[in-house]
Amino acid sequence: MTQYPRRALVASPTAPAQVARAELADAWDWCPLEEADLVVALGGDGFMLQTLHLLLERRRALVPVFGMNLGTVGFLMNEWRRHDLDGRIERARAFKVTPLTATATGNDGRVHTFPAINEVSLLRETRQTAKLEVRINDRIVLDELSCDGILVATPAGSTAYNLSAHGPILPLGSQMLALTPISAFRPRRWRGAILPDRTRVSLRVLDAAKRPVSAVADQREIRDVAQVDIALDRARELTLLFDPEHALDDRITMEQFVA
């Protein structure tokens, strides 16, 4: 008997993903997401993040996801192939992805809590630079960072926005987080830090009324924040399934050698 007898099929609204969904519609007796013990996701990396966030919202984090790429990059996806889907799922390797939790306090005093699988970033809202205080485990390490922003990235997200901001690539299993400035002005030579993944990062906005800052967790944005506290959420670990020849850990490692 298959390891995952109850499967849900979800697809991006793009035309290629919808065509693929139609092709797979009769391949299995698909069930609703709420009843599934496996999700097959069709789309790109952005849609994979949406699917993982949906599982977190519905308290279904333990359900593994097998994605097939019908987007652009497809870093978090397997190759799209209609044939032998059962065999591929049975042979797939599982990789654990631990999300961050960001607790953002707004200038109005409201508190927002949300997860992030790739990264949590703080970004200036106006033409003026943001000024941030950076705390690590309740210790102030930078009393004033002038910048366009700053981000905290997981290993799974270290090849996304973090890499574009010249942050380090973190291998899966490294148990590290990347703290990466975005266009730092002062201190000009600070390039960020690699932190143990048990670290708590607190980012306080200085002069928030004059220099407003927004917080973005993957695809969700909270504007006009006063402080954001970030830590890994080990209670909501997610599982991605990959073909053996398309191992996520190896892809992340090899990104260090891409010219």
The pLDDT value recorded for residue 130 is 97
Task: List all residues 6 or more positions away from 6 whose beta carbon is below 8 Å from its beta carbon.
Answer: 31, 35, 36, 37, 38
Q: Are residues 185 and 216 in the same domain?
A: yes
Backbone angles phi, psi at 182, to 5 degrees: -115, 110
Segment 9-36 shows an average pLDDT of 94
Is 29 domain-assigned? yes
Is 1 domain-assigned? no
CATH number, residue 51: 3.40.50.10330
CATH number, residue 155: 2.60.200.30
Q: Are residues 171 and 152 in the same domain?
A: yes
Q: Are residues 115 and 215 in the same domain?
A: yes
From the candidates 26, 29, 37, 45, give the one annotated as an active-site residue: 45
Segment 77-96 shows an average pLDDT of 93
Q: Are residues 142 and 17 in the same domain?
A: no
Q: Are residues 26 and 126 in the same domain?
A: no
Lowest-confidence range among 38-52, 135-149, 240-254? 240-254
pTM for the whole structure: 0.90
103-140, pLDDT tens digit by residue?
999 999 999 999 999 999 999 999 999 999 999 999 99
Q: Is the pLDDT of residue 42 over 80?
A: yes
Average pLDDT value over all residues in the chain:
93
Is 92 domain-assigned? yes
Segment 2-24 shows an average pLDDT of 94
Is 2 domain-assigned? no
- Percent of the chain exceeding pLDDT 70 equals 99
Binding residue numbers? 45-46, 118-119, 148, 156, 159-164
**Residue appearing with tokens 């508190």:** 111
Q: Are residues 105 and 225 in the same domain?
A: yes
* Side chain identity at residue 118, one-letter code: N
Q: Are residues 174 and 119 in the same domain?
A: yes
Q: Are residues 246 and 227 in the same domain?
A: no
Is 183 domain-assigned? yes
The CA-based diameter of the chain, rounded to the nearest angstrom, is 62
**Residue appearing with tokens 């402080």:** 227
Q: Are residues 94 and 105 in the same domain?
A: no
Is 163 domain-assigned? yes
CA 44 to chain centre: 13
Binding residue numbers for NAD(+)? 45-46, 118-119, 148, 156, 159-164
Q: Are residues 140 and 215 in the same domain?
A: yes
The pLDDT value recorded for residue 250 is 76
Decide if 241 contacts 92 (C-beta within 8 A): yes
Is 48 domain-assigned? yes
Q: Are residues 165 and 248 in the same domain?
A: no
Is 45 a catalytic site residue?
Answer: yes
Q: Are residues 109 and 192 in the same domain?
A: yes
Q: In terms of residue numbers, what domain contains 80?
A: 7-98+237-257
Question: How many domains, the chain?
Answer: 2
Segment 90-101 shows an average pLDDT of 94
DSSP 100: E
Is 53 domain-assigned? yes
182-235, pLDDT tens digit by residue?
999 999 889 999 999 999 999 999 999 999 999 999 989 999 999 999 999 999
